[in-house]
Amino acid sequence: MKLSFCSLASGSSGNCYLVRTESTAILVDAGISGRRIFAGLAALGMNQGDVDGVLITHEHIDHIKSVQMLAKKLENANFFASAGTWNAAGELRKCLESAQCGEVAAKRIFKIGDIMVTPFSLSHDAAEPTGYSFAAGTSKLSIVTDTG
């Protein structure tokens, strides 16, 4: 089993990354328009029904812009963020009441499909910023955004 990574967008105008195996797809952040996210997925031969999870690193708009829309469109996906991120983005939490959402904590490992996810704390000017490490088979990768 092999992990693959694709940056759909990275920078102050928006961030969104895809981590996947053959059977599992996870978006990390949704700081660009839903249209751009779905176009990026389509360019990779995927559709919105293929997304199993959405992980949020922190509450800044360039990381959460489309989360509310995704919560409505991605019926099969679970959404995860730290307690501090959910609390700091109160409107976001409210909109996700109908979606499957959960809290992550540093070093508390969980699984989405066939991918093991390990959250870890980061230093940034946000409530509780989180990075994520991913493992599937012998493949591992980590995503760190906006440190400092």
- When pLDDT is cut at 50, 70 and 90, the band that residue 5 belongs to is very high
Cα–Cα distance between 37 and 124 in angstroms, integer? 25
Looking at the 3D structure of the chain, how many domains does it have? Answer: 1
pLDDT (tens digit per residue) in 14-71: 999 999 999 999 999 999 999 999 999 999 999 999 999 999 998 888 889 999 899 8
Residue 132 domain flag? yes
Q: Are 32 and 39 in contact (CB under 8 A)?
A: no
Residue 148 domain flag? no
Domain span at 48: 4-143
Here the CATH number for the domain that contains residue 130 is 3.60.15.10
Q: What is the CA radius of gyration of the chain?
A: 14
pLDDT (tens digit per residue) in 80-130: 999 888 888 876 766 666 668 888 999 999 999 999 999 998 978 777 899
Q: Are 88 and 127 in contact (CB under 8 A)?
A: yes
Coil, strand or helix at 92? helix
Cα–Cα distance between 98 and 108 in angstroms, integer? 24
